[in-house]
Structure 1
Protein backbone atom coordinates (compact mmCIF):
# COMPACT_ATOMS: atom_id res chain seq x y z
CA UNK A 1 0.00 0.00 0.00
CA UNK A 2 2.81 2.43 0.88
CA UNK A 3 4.53 1.69 -2.40
CA UNK A 4 1.30 2.19 -4.37
CA UNK A 5 0.54 5.49 -2.59
CA UNK A 6 4.10 6.69 -3.22
CA UNK A 7 3.83 5.79 -6.90
CA UNK A 8 0.54 7.71 -7.19
CA UNK A 9 2.10 10.79 -5.54
CA UNK A 10 5.16 10.66 -7.78
CA UNK A 11 2.94 10.23 -10.82
CA UNK A 12 0.79 13.18 -9.78
CA UNK A 13 3.81 15.42 -9.22
CA UNK A 14 5.26 14.36 -12.57
CA UNK A 15 1.98 15.18 -14.36
CA UNK A 16 1.75 18.58 -12.66
CA UNK A 17 5.33 19.38 -13.64
CA UNK A 18 4.62 18.30 -17.18
CA UNK A 19 1.56 20.54 -17.35
CA UNK A 20 3.54 23.48 -15.92
CA UNK A 21 6.33 22.96 -18.43
CA UNK A 22 3.76 22.77 -21.23
CA UNK A 23 2.17 26.03 -20.02
CA UNK A 24 5.56 27.75 -20.03
CA UNK A 25 6.24 26.54 -23.55
CA UNK A 26 2.85 27.80 -24.73
CA UNK A 27 3.52 31.20 -23.15
CA UNK A 28 6.93 31.43 -24.81
CA UNK A 29 5.40 30.51 -28.16
CA UNK A 30 2.47 32.89 -27.83
CA UNK A 31 1.98 34.79 -31.08
CA UNK A 32 3.32 32.18 -33.47
CA UNK A 33 -0.22 31.76 -34.76
CA UNK A 34 -1.81 28.68 -36.24
CA UNK A 35 0.72 28.62 -39.07
CA UNK A 36 3.61 27.52 -36.88
CA UNK A 37 7.21 28.67 -37.05
CA UNK A 38 9.62 28.86 -39.97
CA UNK A 39 12.51 29.72 -37.60
CA UNK A 40 14.50 31.23 -40.47
CA UNK A 41 16.82 33.32 -38.31
CA UNK A 42 17.53 31.02 -35.40
CA UNK A 43 21.13 29.80 -35.11
CA UNK A 44 21.90 26.69 -33.11
CA UNK A 45 22.10 27.15 -29.33
CA UNK A 46 21.21 30.87 -29.58
CA UNK A 47 20.39 32.77 -26.42
CA UNK A 48 16.69 33.77 -26.13
CA UNK A 49 15.88 37.12 -27.71
CA UNK A 50 13.87 39.83 -25.98
CA UNK A 51 11.59 41.91 -28.24
CA UNK A 52 9.76 44.90 -26.75
CA UNK A 53 7.05 47.22 -28.01
CA UNK A 54 3.96 49.14 -27.08
CA UNK A 55 0.41 49.49 -28.41
CA UNK A 56 0.29 49.33 -32.23
CA UNK A 57 -3.17 48.34 -33.45
CA UNK A 58 -3.09 45.00 -35.30
CA UNK A 59 0.71 44.93 -35.09
CA UNK A 60 1.36 44.65 -31.36
CA UNK A 61 -1.60 44.66 -29.01
CA UNK A 62 -1.78 43.97 -25.30
CA UNK A 63 -0.98 45.48 -21.95
CA UNK A 64 1.76 45.24 -19.36
CA UNK A 65 1.99 41.77 -17.82
CA UNK A 66 0.04 40.03 -20.61
CA UNK A 67 1.42 38.22 -23.64
CA UNK A 68 0.98 40.50 -26.68
CA UNK A 69 -0.50 39.52 -30.04
CA UNK A 70 -0.46 40.92 -33.55
CA UNK A 71 1.29 40.78 -36.92
CA UNK A 72 4.70 41.68 -35.47
CA UNK A 73 4.47 38.98 -32.79
CA UNK A 74 3.61 36.30 -35.33
CA UNK A 75 6.25 37.57 -37.75
CA UNK A 76 9.04 37.36 -35.17
CA UNK A 77 7.78 33.94 -34.14
CA UNK A 78 8.03 32.67 -37.69
CA UNK A 79 11.53 34.10 -38.13
CA UNK A 80 13.02 33.11 -34.76
CA UNK A 81 10.81 30.24 -33.60
CA UNK A 82 10.39 29.89 -29.84
CA UNK A 83 13.71 31.67 -29.35
CA UNK A 84 12.05 35.09 -29.04
CA UNK A 85 9.98 36.50 -26.20
CA UNK A 86 7.77 39.52 -26.91
CA UNK A 87 6.94 41.94 -24.09
CA UNK A 88 4.56 44.92 -23.91
CA UNK A 89 6.12 47.94 -22.17
CA UNK A 90 5.48 51.71 -22.40
CA UNK A 91 6.87 53.16 -25.64
CA UNK A 92 9.53 55.47 -24.19
CA UNK A 93 10.78 52.67 -21.97
CA UNK A 94 10.86 50.19 -24.86
CA UNK A 95 13.10 52.49 -26.90
CA UNK A 96 15.45 53.02 -23.98
CA UNK A 97 15.68 49.27 -23.29
CA UNK A 98 16.94 48.61 -26.82
CA UNK A 99 19.29 51.59 -26.83
CA UNK A 100 20.88 50.40 -23.56
CA UNK A 101 21.05 46.74 -24.59
CA UNK A 102 18.41 45.54 -22.10
CA UNK A 103 16.30 44.25 -25.01
CA UNK A 104 17.28 42.98 -28.45
CA UNK A 105 14.50 44.18 -30.76
CA UNK A 106 12.25 47.26 -30.78
CA UNK A 107 9.00 46.48 -32.58
CA UNK A 108 7.52 48.90 -35.09
CA UNK A 109 9.31 52.28 -34.90
CA UNK A 110 9.12 54.62 -37.86
CA UNK A 111 12.53 55.30 -39.32
CA UNK A 112 13.65 58.88 -38.69
CA UNK A 113 17.08 60.60 -38.85
CA UNK A 114 16.99 61.28 -35.11
CA UNK A 115 16.19 57.68 -34.22
CA UNK A 116 18.89 56.39 -36.57
CA UNK A 117 21.48 58.06 -34.35
CA UNK A 118 20.27 55.89 -31.45
CA UNK A 119 19.32 52.56 -33.05
CA UNK A 120 19.94 50.33 -36.08
CA UNK A 121 16.96 49.81 -38.37
CA UNK A 122 15.98 46.86 -40.54
CA UNK A 123 16.58 47.35 -44.26
CA UNK A 124 12.93 46.81 -45.13
CA UNK A 125 9.86 48.12 -43.39
CA UNK A 126 7.18 45.59 -42.52
CA UNK A 127 4.23 48.02 -42.59
CA UNK A 128 3.41 51.59 -43.67
CA UNK A 129 1.05 54.28 -42.36
CA UNK A 130 -0.36 57.42 -43.94
CA UNK A 131 -0.25 60.12 -41.26
CA UNK A 132 -3.33 62.34 -41.53
CA UNK A 133 -5.32 65.02 -39.74
CA UNK A 134 -8.65 63.93 -38.25
CA UNK A 135 -11.47 66.44 -37.92
CA UNK A 136 -15.11 66.55 -36.93
CA UNK A 137 -17.20 65.49 -39.93
CA UNK A 138 -17.98 68.51 -42.05
CA UNK A 139 -14.73 70.32 -41.12
CA UNK A 140 -12.52 68.68 -43.74
CA UNK A 141 -11.74 72.05 -45.34
CA UNK A 142 -9.73 73.08 -42.26
CA UNK A 143 -6.71 71.30 -43.80
CA UNK A 144 -5.59 72.79 -47.10
CA UNK A 145 -2.20 71.08 -47.16
CA UNK A 146 -0.45 74.21 -45.86
CA UNK A 147 0.81 74.32 -42.27
CA UNK A 148 0.79 78.12 -42.35
CA UNK A 149 -3.02 78.00 -42.37
CA UNK A 150 -2.94 76.21 -38.97
CA UNK A 151 -0.74 78.73 -37.16
CA UNK A 152 -3.53 79.73 -34.74
CA UNK A 153 -5.68 76.59 -35.00
CA UNK A 154 -5.96 74.32 -31.92
CA UNK A 155 -4.46 70.97 -32.97
CA UNK A 156 -3.24 67.83 -31.16
CA UNK A 157 -0.69 65.10 -31.80
CA UNK A 158 0.49 62.06 -29.83
CA UNK A 159 3.60 62.60 -27.72
CA UNK A 160 6.52 60.43 -28.87
CA UNK A 161 5.07 59.65 -32.31
CA UNK A 162 6.90 60.47 -35.54
CA UNK A 163 4.85 62.36 -38.13
CA UNK A 164 7.36 62.88 -40.90
CA UNK A 165 10.06 65.37 -41.79
CA UNK A 166 7.68 68.11 -42.96
CA UNK A 167 5.74 68.03 -39.69
CA UNK A 168 9.01 68.21 -37.76
CA UNK A 169 10.05 71.30 -39.71
CA UNK A 170 6.69 73.05 -39.39
CA UNK A 171 5.53 72.12 -35.86
CA UNK A 172 7.18 75.17 -34.26
CA UNK A 173 4.78 77.30 -36.33
CA UNK A 174 1.75 75.56 -34.83
CA UNK A 175 0.95 78.08 -32.12
CA UNK A 176 -1.74 75.97 -30.44
CA UNK A 177 -0.28 72.45 -30.63
CA UNK A 178 -1.18 70.16 -27.71
CA UNK A 179 0.67 66.89 -27.10
CA UNK A 180 -1.55 64.04 -25.86
CA UNK A 181 -0.68 60.64 -24.39
CA UNK A 182 -2.60 58.50 -26.85
CA UNK A 183 -5.22 58.16 -29.59
CA UNK A 184 -8.14 57.97 -27.16
CA UNK A 185 -7.20 61.31 -25.61
CA UNK A 186 -6.69 63.00 -28.98
CA UNK A 187 -10.02 61.85 -30.41
CA UNK A 188 -11.90 62.82 -27.27
CA UNK A 189 -10.36 66.30 -27.34
CA UNK A 190 -11.44 66.57 -30.97
CA UNK A 191 -15.05 65.53 -30.38
CA UNK A 192 -15.29 67.78 -27.29
CA UNK A 193 -14.12 70.74 -29.45
CA UNK A 194 -10.99 71.35 -27.41
CA UNK A 195 -8.99 71.02 -30.66
CA UNK A 196 -10.00 71.26 -34.31
CA UNK A 197 -7.56 68.72 -35.78
CA UNK A 198 -5.83 65.61 -34.43
CA UNK A 199 -2.85 63.99 -36.17
CA UNK A 200 -2.76 60.16 -36.30
CA UNK A 201 -3.27 57.27 -38.74
CA UNK A 202 -6.12 54.96 -39.74
CA UNK A 203 -4.59 51.79 -38.34
CA UNK A 204 -4.54 53.20 -34.81
CA UNK A 205 -7.61 55.42 -35.04
CA UNK A 206 -10.23 53.17 -36.61
CA UNK A 207 -10.44 50.64 -33.74
CA UNK A 208 -10.77 53.50 -31.23
CA UNK A 209 -13.41 55.32 -33.29
CA UNK A 210 -15.43 52.12 -33.47
CA UNK A 211 -15.03 51.41 -29.75
CA UNK A 212 -16.10 54.95 -28.82
CA UNK A 213 -18.92 54.96 -31.42
CA UNK A 214 -17.38 57.99 -33.12
CA UNK A 215 -16.96 56.63 -36.66
CA UNK A 216 -19.81 58.80 -37.96
CA UNK A 217 -18.66 61.92 -36.11
CA UNK A 218 -14.96 61.99 -37.11
CA UNK A 219 -13.28 61.73 -40.50
CA UNK A 220 -9.84 62.15 -42.02
CA UNK A 221 -8.51 64.95 -44.20
CA UNK A 222 -6.43 64.85 -47.35
CA UNK A 223 -3.72 65.19 -48.46
CA UNK A 224 -1.80 63.12 -45.87
CA UNK A 225 0.92 64.72 -43.77
CA UNK A 226 3.32 61.97 -44.84
CA UNK A 227 3.60 58.21 -45.40
CA UNK A 228 5.85 56.60 -42.80
CA UNK A 229 7.34 53.12 -42.75
CA UNK A 230 7.58 50.92 -39.65
CA UNK A 231 10.65 48.76 -39.00
CA UNK A 232 12.31 46.53 -36.47
CA UNK A 233 15.14 48.30 -34.65
CA UNK A 234 18.22 47.00 -32.85
CA UNK A 235 20.92 48.26 -30.50
CA UNK A 236 23.91 50.10 -31.96
CA UNK A 237 26.38 47.43 -30.89
CA UNK A 238 28.23 44.48 -32.38
CA UNK A 239 25.47 42.17 -31.20
CA UNK A 240 22.81 44.47 -32.61
CA UNK A 241 24.53 44.57 -35.99
CA UNK A 242 24.70 40.79 -36.15
CA UNK A 243 21.05 40.42 -35.12
CA UNK A 244 19.89 43.02 -37.65
CA UNK A 245 21.79 41.16 -40.39
CA UNK A 246 20.15 37.86 -39.42
CA UNK A 247 16.74 39.51 -39.34
CA UNK A 248 17.18 41.17 -42.75
CA UNK A 249 18.23 37.91 -44.40
CA UNK A 250 15.40 35.94 -42.81
CA UNK A 251 12.80 38.62 -43.60
CA UNK A 252 13.78 38.58 -47.30
CA UNK A 253 13.27 34.81 -47.40
CA UNK A 254 9.99 35.06 -45.48
CA UNK A 255 8.54 37.66 -47.86
CA UNK A 256 8.75 35.14 -50.68
CA UNK A 257 6.65 32.55 -48.82
CA UNK A 258 2.92 32.06 -48.70
CA UNK A 259 3.18 32.53 -44.94
CA UNK A 260 3.86 36.24 -45.45
CA UNK A 261 0.80 36.77 -47.65
CA UNK A 262 -1.41 34.88 -45.23
CA UNK A 263 -0.11 36.72 -42.17
CA UNK A 264 -0.81 40.16 -43.64
CA UNK A 265 -4.29 39.00 -44.69
CA UNK A 266 -4.99 37.50 -41.29
CA UNK A 267 -4.20 40.72 -39.39
CA UNK A 268 -5.66 43.11 -41.96
CA UNK A 269 -2.41 45.06 -42.43
CA UNK A 270 -1.31 46.41 -45.82
CA UNK A 271 1.95 44.93 -46.98
CA UNK A 272 4.53 47.57 -48.03
CA UNK A 273 4.88 47.57 -51.81
CA UNK A 274 8.58 48.51 -52.03
CA UNK A 275 11.72 48.14 -49.96
CA UNK A 276 11.94 51.16 -47.64
Structure 2
Protein backbone atom coordinates (compact mmCIF):
# COMPACT_ATOMS: atom_id res chain seq x y z
CA UNK A 1 0.00 0.00 0.00
CA UNK A 2 2.82 2.42 0.89
CA UNK A 3 4.50 1.65 -2.40
CA UNK A 4 1.20 2.32 -4.26
CA UNK A 5 0.70 5.65 -2.48
CA UNK A 6 4.22 6.69 -3.35
CA UNK A 7 3.62 5.82 -7.00
CA UNK A 8 0.35 7.81 -7.08
CA UNK A 9 2.11 10.78 -5.45
CA UNK A 10 4.83 10.56 -8.09
CA UNK A 11 2.24 10.55 -10.89
CA UNK A 12 0.43 13.57 -9.44
CA UNK A 13 3.67 15.47 -8.98
CA UNK A 14 4.78 14.55 -12.47
CA UNK A 15 1.55 15.45 -14.23
CA UNK A 16 0.80 18.78 -12.58
CA UNK A 17 3.72 20.74 -14.06
CA UNK A 18 2.66 19.71 -17.52
CA UNK A 19 -0.76 21.20 -16.86
CA UNK A 20 0.15 24.35 -14.95
CA UNK A 21 3.56 25.45 -16.24
CA UNK A 22 3.41 27.83 -19.19
CA UNK A 23 6.46 28.77 -21.23
CA UNK A 24 8.11 31.94 -19.94
CA UNK A 25 8.84 34.96 -22.14
CA UNK A 26 11.57 37.13 -20.61
CA UNK A 27 10.91 40.79 -21.34
CA UNK A 28 13.38 43.66 -20.84
CA UNK A 29 11.95 47.17 -20.95
CA UNK A 30 12.82 50.72 -19.98
CA UNK A 31 10.85 53.50 -18.32
CA UNK A 32 9.00 55.52 -20.99
CA UNK A 33 5.60 56.48 -19.54
CA UNK A 34 2.85 56.19 -20.48
CA UNK A 35 3.98 53.59 -23.03
CA UNK A 36 6.18 51.55 -20.66
CA UNK A 37 6.23 52.13 -16.89
CA UNK A 38 8.17 50.64 -13.98
CA UNK A 39 5.52 49.58 -11.43
CA UNK A 40 5.66 50.60 -7.79
CA UNK A 41 3.88 49.46 -4.65
CA UNK A 42 1.30 52.20 -4.99
CA UNK A 43 1.00 52.04 -8.78
CA UNK A 44 1.21 48.57 -10.36
CA UNK A 45 0.48 49.71 -13.94
CA UNK A 46 3.17 48.86 -16.52
CA UNK A 47 2.03 51.05 -19.41
CA UNK A 48 0.17 50.80 -22.70
CA UNK A 49 2.68 48.66 -24.58
CA UNK A 50 3.27 46.22 -21.72
CA UNK A 51 -0.48 45.77 -21.25
CA UNK A 52 -0.74 45.07 -24.98
CA UNK A 53 2.18 42.63 -24.92
CA UNK A 54 0.78 40.83 -21.89
CA UNK A 55 -2.65 40.41 -23.48
CA UNK A 56 -1.16 39.06 -26.72
CA UNK A 57 1.22 36.50 -25.23
CA UNK A 58 -0.80 35.31 -22.24
CA UNK A 59 -3.62 34.46 -24.65
CA UNK A 60 -1.12 32.12 -26.34
CA UNK A 61 -0.23 30.41 -23.05
CA UNK A 62 2.93 32.32 -22.13
CA UNK A 63 3.92 33.68 -18.75
CA UNK A 64 5.82 36.98 -18.90
CA UNK A 65 8.82 37.73 -16.69
CA UNK A 66 9.81 41.40 -16.62
CA UNK A 67 13.21 43.05 -16.20
CA UNK A 68 12.95 46.81 -15.61
CA UNK A 69 16.24 48.27 -16.87
CA UNK A 70 17.57 51.34 -18.71
CA UNK A 71 17.30 51.06 -22.50
CA UNK A 72 21.02 50.55 -23.19
CA UNK A 73 21.19 47.71 -20.68
CA UNK A 74 18.00 46.17 -22.03
CA UNK A 75 19.42 46.12 -25.55
CA UNK A 76 22.55 44.37 -24.28
CA UNK A 77 20.47 41.83 -22.34
CA UNK A 78 18.46 41.00 -25.45
CA UNK A 79 21.61 40.72 -27.58
CA UNK A 80 23.17 38.39 -24.99
CA UNK A 81 20.04 36.25 -24.68
CA UNK A 82 19.32 37.16 -21.05
CA UNK A 83 16.00 38.57 -22.24
CA UNK A 84 14.02 37.16 -25.14
CA UNK A 85 12.72 40.50 -26.30
CA UNK A 86 12.25 44.21 -25.72
CA UNK A 87 8.79 45.55 -26.61
CA UNK A 88 9.68 48.92 -28.21
CA UNK A 89 12.80 50.03 -30.06
CA UNK A 90 13.12 52.66 -32.79
CA UNK A 91 13.30 51.09 -36.23
CA UNK A 92 16.79 51.60 -37.60
CA UNK A 93 19.59 49.75 -39.36
CA UNK A 94 20.66 48.10 -36.11
CA UNK A 95 19.10 44.73 -37.03
CA UNK A 96 21.81 42.10 -36.92
CA UNK A 97 23.39 43.39 -33.71
CA UNK A 98 21.93 40.65 -31.57
CA UNK A 99 18.26 41.08 -32.39
CA UNK A 100 15.67 41.22 -35.17
CA UNK A 101 12.52 43.32 -35.42
CA UNK A 102 8.94 42.07 -35.54
CA UNK A 103 6.98 43.10 -38.63
CA UNK A 104 4.13 44.92 -36.91
CA UNK A 105 4.98 48.22 -35.22
CA UNK A 106 3.72 49.17 -31.78
CA UNK A 107 2.89 52.71 -32.91
CA UNK A 108 4.13 55.41 -35.27
CA UNK A 109 4.59 58.44 -33.02
CA UNK A 110 4.67 62.12 -33.89
CA UNK A 111 7.58 63.85 -32.15
CA UNK A 112 7.86 67.29 -30.54
CA UNK A 113 10.27 69.34 -28.43
CA UNK A 114 10.00 70.62 -24.89
CA UNK A 115 11.60 74.00 -24.09
CA UNK A 116 11.27 76.71 -21.42
CA UNK A 117 8.05 78.70 -21.59
CA UNK A 118 8.56 81.91 -23.48
CA UNK A 119 11.58 80.69 -25.44
CA UNK A 120 10.95 81.68 -29.10
CA UNK A 121 13.09 78.78 -30.40
CA UNK A 122 11.54 76.39 -32.89
CA UNK A 123 13.10 73.48 -34.75
CA UNK A 124 13.56 74.35 -38.42
CA UNK A 125 16.30 71.85 -39.23
CA UNK A 126 19.69 71.07 -37.79
CA UNK A 127 20.99 74.63 -38.24
CA UNK A 128 18.44 75.79 -35.66
CA UNK A 129 20.31 73.70 -33.03
CA UNK A 130 23.28 76.10 -33.04
CA UNK A 131 24.14 77.28 -29.54
CA UNK A 132 21.41 75.19 -27.88
CA UNK A 133 22.10 72.61 -25.18
CA UNK A 134 20.13 69.43 -25.88
CA UNK A 135 19.42 66.46 -23.61
CA UNK A 136 19.24 62.80 -24.56
CA UNK A 137 19.72 59.40 -22.90
CA UNK A 138 22.40 56.71 -23.25
CA UNK A 139 21.82 54.50 -26.29
CA UNK A 140 18.83 56.51 -27.53
CA UNK A 141 18.67 56.49 -31.33
CA UNK A 142 16.91 59.25 -33.29
CA UNK A 143 18.31 58.28 -36.70
CA UNK A 144 15.00 56.91 -37.98
CA UNK A 145 13.39 60.31 -37.34
CA UNK A 146 16.28 62.50 -38.47
CA UNK A 147 19.72 61.35 -39.57
CA UNK A 148 20.96 64.94 -39.26
CA UNK A 149 19.76 65.19 -35.65
CA UNK A 150 21.44 61.90 -34.70
CA UNK A 151 24.64 62.96 -36.43
CA UNK A 152 24.54 66.22 -34.47
CA UNK A 153 24.29 64.29 -31.18
CA UNK A 154 27.12 61.93 -32.19
CA UNK A 155 29.51 64.59 -33.50
CA UNK A 156 32.39 65.08 -30.99
CA UNK A 157 32.50 68.75 -31.92
CA UNK A 158 29.04 69.16 -30.36
CA UNK A 159 29.88 67.28 -27.15
CA UNK A 160 29.75 70.44 -25.02
CA UNK A 161 26.17 71.07 -26.20
CA UNK A 162 24.85 67.50 -25.70
CA UNK A 163 23.95 66.26 -22.22
CA UNK A 164 23.53 62.46 -21.97
CA UNK A 165 21.38 61.87 -18.90
CA UNK A 166 21.78 58.38 -17.44
CA UNK A 167 19.53 56.82 -14.83
CA UNK A 168 17.24 53.99 -13.86
CA UNK A 169 13.64 55.16 -14.06
CA UNK A 170 13.48 58.96 -13.99
CA UNK A 171 15.54 60.18 -16.95
CA UNK A 172 12.75 62.08 -18.73
CA UNK A 173 11.55 63.63 -15.44
CA UNK A 174 15.09 64.80 -14.72
CA UNK A 175 15.47 66.24 -18.21
CA UNK A 176 12.28 68.29 -17.76
CA UNK A 177 13.63 69.70 -14.50
CA UNK A 178 17.03 70.35 -16.11
CA UNK A 179 15.31 72.47 -18.77
CA UNK A 180 13.37 74.30 -16.07
CA UNK A 181 16.63 74.93 -14.20
CA UNK A 182 18.43 76.29 -17.31
CA UNK A 183 20.90 73.39 -17.38
CA UNK A 184 19.76 72.33 -20.88
CA UNK A 185 17.57 74.08 -23.43
CA UNK A 186 15.56 71.43 -25.24
CA UNK A 187 14.60 67.80 -25.57
CA UNK A 188 12.88 65.81 -28.35
CA UNK A 189 10.60 62.84 -27.76
CA UNK A 190 7.31 61.15 -28.58
CA UNK A 191 4.63 63.86 -28.34
CA UNK A 192 2.46 61.62 -26.13
CA UNK A 193 5.30 61.09 -23.66
CA UNK A 194 5.99 64.83 -23.47
CA UNK A 195 2.32 65.60 -22.80
CA UNK A 196 2.05 62.86 -20.18
CA UNK A 197 5.18 63.93 -18.27
CA UNK A 198 4.30 67.64 -18.49
CA UNK A 199 0.90 66.98 -16.94
CA UNK A 200 2.22 64.61 -14.28
CA UNK A 201 4.99 66.99 -13.16
CA UNK A 202 2.68 70.03 -13.36
CA UNK A 203 5.25 72.10 -15.26
CA UNK A 204 2.91 73.94 -17.66
CA UNK A 205 3.90 77.29 -16.15
CA UNK A 206 7.62 76.66 -16.63
CA UNK A 207 7.85 74.63 -19.84
CA UNK A 208 6.08 74.27 -23.16
CA UNK A 209 5.82 71.66 -25.91
CA UNK A 210 6.52 73.02 -29.40
CA UNK A 211 5.99 71.59 -32.86
CA UNK A 212 6.99 70.60 -35.46
CA UNK A 213 9.28 67.94 -34.08
CA UNK A 214 11.81 65.92 -36.04
CA UNK A 215 11.36 65.31 -39.75
CA UNK A 216 9.86 61.81 -39.55
CA UNK A 217 7.62 59.93 -37.16
CA UNK A 218 9.14 57.71 -34.49
CA UNK A 219 8.29 54.17 -35.59
CA UNK A 220 8.82 51.58 -32.85
CA UNK A 221 8.71 47.79 -33.07
CA UNK A 222 9.45 44.93 -30.67
CA UNK A 223 12.87 43.26 -31.00
CA UNK A 224 13.66 39.58 -30.40
CA UNK A 225 17.01 38.06 -29.48
CA UNK A 226 19.04 36.20 -32.09
CA UNK A 227 20.03 33.83 -29.26
CA UNK A 228 16.55 32.32 -29.57
CA UNK A 229 16.47 29.38 -32.03
CA UNK A 230 15.20 30.71 -35.40
CA UNK A 231 12.02 28.65 -35.51
CA UNK A 232 11.02 29.61 -31.98
CA UNK A 233 11.91 33.27 -32.59
CA UNK A 234 9.80 33.38 -35.74
CA UNK A 235 6.88 31.89 -33.84
CA UNK A 236 7.17 34.65 -31.20
CA UNK A 237 7.26 37.28 -33.95
CA UNK A 238 4.21 35.73 -35.61
CA UNK A 239 2.32 35.80 -32.29
CA UNK A 240 3.11 39.49 -31.86
CA UNK A 241 2.22 40.35 -35.46
CA UNK A 242 -1.14 38.59 -35.32
CA UNK A 243 -1.92 39.96 -31.88
CA UNK A 244 -1.04 43.56 -32.73
CA UNK A 245 -3.20 43.48 -35.85
CA UNK A 246 -6.11 42.09 -33.81
CA UNK A 247 -5.86 45.05 -31.43
CA UNK A 248 -6.38 47.73 -34.04
CA UNK A 249 -9.50 49.74 -33.33
CA UNK A 250 -11.51 49.48 -30.13
CA UNK A 251 -9.07 47.29 -28.14
CA UNK A 252 -6.22 49.70 -28.86
CA UNK A 253 -8.32 52.75 -27.94
CA UNK A 254 -9.42 51.10 -24.70
CA UNK A 255 -5.80 50.50 -23.65
CA UNK A 256 -4.89 54.10 -24.45
CA UNK A 257 -7.88 55.48 -22.53
CA UNK A 258 -6.72 53.55 -19.46
CA UNK A 259 -3.74 55.95 -19.38
CA UNK A 260 -5.70 59.02 -20.37
CA UNK A 261 -4.27 59.35 -23.88
CA UNK A 262 -5.30 59.03 -27.49
CA UNK A 263 -3.25 58.60 -30.66
CA UNK A 264 -4.10 60.13 -34.00
CA UNK A 265 -3.73 57.34 -36.54
**Structure 1, unaligned runs of 5 or more:** 1-44
- Offset of 1:188 from its aligned partner? 1.5
Equivalenced residue count is 228
**SS of residue paired to 2:242:** helix
1:57-96 equivalent positions in 2, closer than 5 A: 57-63=33-39, 69-81=46-58, 83-91=62-70, 92-96=72-76
Matching residue within 138, 145, 151 for 1:169:
151
**Unaligned 5+ runs, structure 2:** 1-20
Spell out the pairing of 1:173-188 with structure 2 (5 A cutoff).
Answer: 174=158, 176-181=161-166, 182-188=171-177
Shift in Å, 1:216: 2.1
* Equivalent-residue separation in structure 1 for 2:209 and 2:22 (angstroms): 46
Q: Is the 8 A contact 2:33 2:197 kept in 1?
A: no
Q: Return the offset for 1:144.
A: 4.1
Change (3 A) 1:264 1:194: closer
Measure, in 1, the Cα distance between the counterparts of 2:49 and 2:224: 15
Q: 1:118 aligns with which of 98, 110, 122?
A: 98
Quote how far apart the aligned CAs of 1:67 are: 6.0
Partner of 1:200: 189
User: C-alpha distance in 2, partners of 1:121/1:268?
Assistant: 28
TM-score (norm 2): 0.73
- SS where residue 114 of structure 1 aligns? coil
Aligned counterparts, 1:139-158, within 5 A: 139=119, 141-158=120-137
CA distance in 2, matches of 1:103, 1:190: 34
Query: What SS does structure 1 have at the residue aligned with 2:94?
Result: helix
Measured on the aligned residues, the alpha-carbon RMSD in Å equals 2.8
- TM-score, normalising length: structure 1: 0.71
Q: How does 1:1-276 map to 2 (within 5 A)?
A: 47-63=23-39, 69-81=46-58, 83-91=62-70, 92-115=72-95, 117-139=97-119, 141-163=120-142, 164=145, 165-171=147-153, 172=155, 174=158, 176-181=161-166, 182-225=171-214, 226-236=216-226, 237=228, 238=230, 239-255=232-248, 258-271=250-263, 273=265
How far, CA to CA, are the matches of 2:122 and 2:186 in structure 1?
8
How far off is 1:46 after superposition?
5.7
Could you tell me which residue of structure 1 aligns to residue 3 of structure 2? Answer: none
Deviations 1:20-52 (A, max 9, x none): xxxxxxxxxxxxxxxxxxxxxxxxx86221222
